A and B are shown apart, each in its own frame.
Chain A
Amino acid sequence: MSGNSIEVHGLTKRFGAFTAVDDVSFDVRRGAIFGFLGANGAGKSTTIRMLCALLDPTSGTAVVGGHDVRREPDEVKASIGYMSQKFSLYGDLTVEENIAFYGGIYRLAKSRVQAQMPRVLEIAGLRGRERTLARDLAQGWKQRLALGCALLHQPAIVFLDEPTGGVDPVSRRAFWDLINGLSEDGVTVFVTTHYLDEAEYCNDIRLIHAGRIVGGGSPQELKRTTIRHPLLEVECDRVVDALELLQRESWVRETSIFGSYLHVGVEDEAEGRTLLKGRLAAAGITVSRLDLIAPSLEDVFIHKIEEQTKETEHAP
């Protein structure tokens, strides 16, 4: 096997006339934390399902852990762990019984389940609560238990589909520490998320929009290479009016709202500052803060989507 855990070429999935995943290709290095980012409905879950051999691709190939998802679905399933955004344990079974059930469906010997039990409880942080019903656990613990169960059979690759959905920030942080630990142990982690701040934890990411990959690389690389013009962060009153005003200016490259402030891409920093202040003051809008900032992943993502949209519009 090459140094890649996952190799995807031209993967496509259509549901009737709707193309959910459109000609997607990428490789995932062994031991990497690979982030698959996109909005809800962008095609993340459909891609994961094809990689987990739950859904047949319409065309293209995917090799996971050395097995083709279409030809050897059972081998693929045996070599991966999977945890989804939905709470996927049995609420009416205890922590211990849930672990035993997953051991059973992965056909592990009882002795092996017993041997793995302390590790899973460790991952889940549930030592001493073996007899608690899963439904009585807080969301963060449930997710960690689900991860523990997904790792019970010691897979070389784990797929985490929005693993931190609905989890508080502290638990999210703890969860990512677990993921880092896995990667250090040589496990390949394929994770989807729509929290862009979480993508910073990944070694390699792909941005997916409307079923197509619009960008990829390490987070640092993406931020460094995607947006080359200066980006100003503007804090002012009447942000929506300010946005509409600035959009019409020729010296403005791009604009976007981040809560109560704006990000404005300009051709030149000094010129941009002067023009922006003057233009907003003329409209009676008060600027309370104006800073040059480094682009975040979110800026990168939006920029990539806009690029893609323009390309599609200009295509004949």
Chain B
Amino acid sequence: MPREPGGLPFLAGIRPVIRKEFRQIRRDPRSLIFLLCIPAFLLLVYGYALNFDVKHVPLAVCDQDGTQASRDFSGKFAATEYFDLRYRLSDPREVDALLGREAVGIALMIPRGFGADLAAGREAKIQVLVDGAYAMTAAAAAGYVGAIAQSQAMRYTLEVLERRGLKRLELPLAVETRVWYNPELRSARFLVPGLMAFILMVIVVISTAFSVVRERERGTMEQILVSPVRPADLVLGKTVPYVLISLVSAHVVLLLGFLLFGVPIRGSYLLLLLTMTLFLTGGLGQGVLISTVAKTQQVAFMISILTTFLPTFILSGFVFPIRNMPLVIQAVTYLIPARYFLTTMRAVMLKGTGLGAFWKEVLFLAVFAAVTIAVSTMRLKRTGLEEKPRRILRSHRRTGP
């Protein structure tokens, strides 16, 4: 029998599958739009909504002292961009209500005698009430309050010492903090690499899982498995088009990240491409693996969400730092590919680090991709068609004696 001449022999089985997948994707523009636009849309939503910058926290000041000193002190808070002074109160009982209905996030209480205590060199007391319902914002806001209060306290100390005759005092320790890689500490910069991981993983796993389960549901899988096409050809042939489309999608996210959020790519672009390709391939393998377990598209969707959405969101260090997690959970994060992808992406994009610093992460991604593709190929071969036949229907006929 004449076979197709030329070309690499191992490509012979993959090529028709790739061509078919592309034709099908072209026929179904909705899925293409889904693959290309949803990531960009998610980036916009998350990029703007998922913001951990603590700025413009609404502030209430309850000044019971009413002196020049107390007004100076509270003025320092209102002058920063971290707090917006919304209410000046004189009755401390009003503070409760404001915090309760979230009209303010933080309240500064200056008791009577504050100014007099300061002037007399006694310990002056203030109280800060923080709405702890938003733990992350609360902690940061309380930190800012502490810092502002400390610097004020230092100034008062110096004034007192100067008044007592010590001239031209210098502070003994000068702390100068400089933030590298993300100088404005902007959440978007930190989040965009994580979002890339999240978006690509979810989209890629779901779309591949669906594409295989659909073939099974429609009976076309059976037709392919009965041909000489090897399961490996089928898996690769199905994944290649989706890897390419996802890469395009990833570039849309990168471009938007740069244009809208100023997220740079400081390191090597090729390294970035390599990491993304490995990560995507692993996700595709995972998608095919899910499809060998799930019999229907609904089940495939649920397993995909459970195995991508949650781990990538929670356990990858995308939002919550891994080092703050309990040890057991930290151990689990080592199994999440997004963790390694994220480390690499942040390093390449924000720090411009070279491969030397995170070759282990890249290696893990490569191993994950190889393992998922290999296992899914094996499972596809074995479980492709093994479904228990239905029980025998009883005949309606009956016999005589």
Contacts of A86 in B (CB 8 A): 218-219, 222
Contacts of B395 in A (CB 8 A): 39, 302, 305
Report if A107-B12 is in contact (Cβ < 8 Å); known contacts: A101-B20, A247-B398. yes
Contact B391 A41 (CB under 8 A): yes
Summarize A's interface: helix, strand, loop or mixed.
mixed
Contact B220 A88 (CB under 8 A): yes
Within 8 A of A (CB), among B277-335: none
Report if A108-B389 is in contact (Cβ < 8 Å); known contacts: A93-B20, A93-B23. no
Within 8 A of A (CB), among B349-401: 384-386, 388-393, 395-401
Contact B228 A74 (CB under 8 A): yes
Contact A88 B4 (CB under 8 A): no
Contact B227 A92 (CB under 8 A): no
- A115→B68 CA distance, assembly (Å): 99
| Minimum Cβ distance to chain A for residue B233 (Å) | 8
Contacts of B179 in A (CB 8 A): none
**B contact residues, total (Cβ < 8 Å):** 43
Contact A104 B228 (CB under 8 A): no
Contact A88 B3 (CB under 8 A): no
Contact A153 B219 (CB under 8 A): no
Contact A109 B28 (CB under 8 A): no
Contact B389 A255 (CB under 8 A): no
A203 CB–B CB distance under 8 Å: no
Contacts of B227 in A (CB 8 A): 77, 102, 105-106
Report if A54-B384 is in contact (Cβ < 8 Å); known contacts: A106-B227, A110-B4, A247-B399. yes
Contact B400 A252 (CB under 8 A): yes
Within 8 A of B (CB), among A16-72: 18, 20, 39-43, 45-46, 49, 52-55
B150 CB–A CB distance under 8 Å: no
- Closest residue of B by beta carbon distance from A98: B20
Contacts of B400 in A (CB 8 A): 246-249, 252-255, 265
- Closest residue of B by beta carbon distance from A150: B223
The contact string, 1 if C-beta is below 8 Å from chain B, for chain A 95-118, is 001001111111111111000000
The contact string, 1 if C-beta is below 8 Å from chain A, for chain B 19-36, is 110011001100000000
Contact B399 A88 (CB under 8 A): no
Within 8 A of A (CB), among B255-286: none
Contacts of A74 in B (CB 8 A): 228
Report if A104-B219 is in contact (Cβ < 8 Å); known contacts: A254-B400, A302-B397. no
Contacts of B186 in A (CB 8 A): none
Contact B24 A78 (CB under 8 A): no
- Which listed residue, A18, A39, A88, A108, touches B388 by the CB 8 Å rule? A18
A199 CB–B CB distance under 8 Å: no
- A111→B223 CA distance, assembly (Å): 23
B62 CB–A CB distance under 8 Å: no
B225 CB–A CB distance under 8 Å: yes
- Which listed residue, B1, B19, B218, B401, touches A104 by the CB 8 Å rule? B19
Within 8 A of A (CB), among B192-237: 218-220, 222-229
- Closest residue of B by beta carbon distance from A103: B16
Contacts of B218 in A (CB 8 A): 86-88, 91
Report if A248-B401 is in contact (Cβ < 8 Å); known contacts: A40-B390, A88-B219. yes
Contacts of A108 in B (CB 8 A): 1-4
Within 8 A of B (CB), among A185-228: 209-210
Contact A107 B228 (CB under 8 A): yes
- A26→B2 CA distance, assembly (Å): 33
A256 CB–B CB distance under 8 Å: yes
- Closest residue of B by beta carbon distance from A85: B219
| Minimum Cβ distance to chain B for residue A147 (Å) | 12
Contacts of A248 in B (CB 8 A): 400-401
Within 8 A of B (CB), among A222-270: 243, 246-250, 252-257, 265
B243 CB–A CB distance under 8 Å: no
B183 CB–A CB distance under 8 Å: no
Most A CB contacts (10 A, CB to CB) among B224, B395, B399 go to B399
| Minimum Cβ distance to chain B for residue A38 (Å) | 9
- Which listed residue, A109, A255, A256, touches B2 by the CB 8 Å rule? A109
Contacts of A153 in B (CB 8 A): 1
- Closest residue of B by beta carbon distance from A154: B1
Report if A243-B398 is in contact (Cβ < 8 Å); known contacts: A45-B389, A55-B385. yes
Report if A55-B15 is in contact (Cβ < 8 Å); known contacts: A77-B226, A247-B399. no
- A153→B19 CA distance, assembly (Å): 19
Contact B16 A101 (CB under 8 A): yes
Contact B5 A109 (CB under 8 A): yes
Contact A49 B393 (CB under 8 A): no
Contacts of B13 in A (CB 8 A): 105, 107
Contact A106 B4 (CB under 8 A): no
Contacts of B1 in A (CB 8 A): 108, 153
- Which listed residue, B224, B229, B385, touches A49 by the CB 8 Å rule? B385
| Minimum Cβ distance to chain B for residue A177 (Å) | 23
- Which listed residue, A40, A45, A133, A254, touches B399 by the CB 8 Å rule? A254
Contact B3 A42 (CB under 8 A): no
Contact A41 B389 (CB under 8 A): yes
A306 CB–B CB distance under 8 Å: yes
- Which listed residue, A20, A40, A256, touches B397 by the CB 8 Å rule? A256
- A291→B228 CA distance, assembly (Å): 54
The contact string, 1 if C-beta is below 8 Å from chain B, for chain A 122-156, is 00000000000100000000000000000001000
Most A CB contacts (10 A, CB to CB) among B5, B13, B16, B218 go to B16
Extra contacts besides A41-B389, A41-B390, A45-B389 (7): CB < 8 Å: A54-B222, A86-B222, A92-B24, A108-B3, A243-B398, A246-B400, A247-B401
Chain A positions within 8 Å of B, measured between CB atoms, are 15, 18, 20, 39-43, 45-46, 49, 52-55, 74, 77-78, 80, 82-84, 86-93, 97, 100-112, 133, 153, 209-210, 243, 246-250, 252-257, 265, 302, 305-306
Chain B positions within 8 Å of A, measured between CB atoms, are 1-5, 12-13, 15-17, 19-20, 23-24, 27-28, 218-220, 222-229, 384-386, 388-393, 395-401
In the complex, the 10 A-B pairs of residues with the closest C-beta atoms, listed nearest first = A104-B16, A86-B219, A88-B223, A82-B226, A256-B397, A105-B227, A252-B400, A92-B27, A88-B219, A41-B390
Contacts A/B (CB < 8 Å), 27 sampled: A18-B388, A20-B388, A20-B389, A39-B393, A39-B395, A41-B389, A42-B392, A54-B225, A77-B226, A78-B228, A86-B218, A88-B218, A88-B222, A89-B220, A89-B223, A93-B24, A97-B23, A105-B13, A105-B229, A107-B228, A108-B3, A109-B3, A111-B2, A153-B1, A247-B400, A247-B401, A252-B401
